[in-house]
């Protein structure tokens, strides 16, 4: 088993990362830096920081098969103790950079229990240079324009929002040490 580095100062670094993730979720489309230098096998440093901050032994996680490598699995178990589950039961899902991605089967919650949904942590090639998206909604004073390089299935989901609010999927987009969030409360128009 090869153990990879977690946070250098676990309490301080986790608190810092939590505040940055909270900023990204409360201000959709704003890019924040997580300032974590160590990415684990198959994960960017920002995705690794999200895992170390938000996941523990009570967190049901779905891991994309492309990420199911021994080193990553060992470090997930050692550093967080997460429970690996099927898509339908996942509170979080870790997804690699991919042009083709199915969002079928992830829990979207419902009007009585919207918290029973999945937050997708999705690695992207870049948080800019993709299709232009216009964001409105809570946390956005005026419309905000972003252009992350999203897979077509994610663009379709964001544009169509097949689940009636308050149900839906939340997204954390990661690239390098940067993070951008699109919670289900954000209205997205593809430009």
Divide the 191 residues of the chain into consecutive groups of 10 and give the mean pLDDT of each group: 77 93 98 85 92 96 92 91 95 90 93 94 96 96 96 94 92 97 95 90
The pLDDT of residue 50 is 97
The pLDDT of residue 99 is 73
The pLDDT of residue 34 is 92
Place of tokens 């992350």: 148
Domain at 10-190, CATH homologous superfamily: Bacterial phosphonate metabolism protein PhnH (3.40.50.11310)
Return the closest-CA partner of residue 186 out of 140, 121, 153, 119: 140
Label residue 99 exposed, middle or buried (CB < 10 Å: 0-12, 13-18, 19+): exposed
The pLDDT of residue 81 is 92
Q: What are the angstrom distances between the C-alpha of 22 and each of 68, 98, 128, 129? A: 28, 26, 21, 25
What's the predicted TM-score (pTM) here? Answer: 0.94
């Amino acid at each position: 088993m090869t153990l990879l580095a977690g946070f250098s100062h676990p309490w301080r670094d986790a608190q810092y990362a939590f505040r940055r993730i909270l900023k990204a979720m409360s201000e959709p489309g704003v890019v924040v830096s997580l300032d974590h230098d160590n990415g684990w096998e198959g994960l960017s440093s920002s995705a690794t920081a999200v895992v170390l901050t938000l996941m523990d032994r009570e967190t049901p996680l779905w891991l994309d098969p492309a990420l199911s490598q021994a080193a990553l699995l060992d470090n997930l178990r050692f550093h967080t103790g997460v429970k690996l589950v099927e898509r339908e039961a996942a509170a979080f899902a870790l997804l690699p950079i991919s042009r083709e991605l199915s969002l079928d089967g992830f829990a979207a919650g419902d009007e009585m229990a919207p918290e029973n949904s999945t937050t997708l942590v999705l690695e992207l090639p870049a948080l800019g240079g993709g299709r232009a998206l216009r964001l409105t909604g809570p946390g956005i004073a005026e419309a905000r324009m972003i252009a992350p390089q999203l897979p077509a299935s994610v663009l379709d989901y964001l544009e169509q929002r097949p689940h009636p609010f308050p149900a839906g999927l939340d997204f954390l987009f990661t690239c390098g040490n940067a993070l951008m969030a699109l919670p289900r409360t954000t209205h997205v128009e593809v430009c």
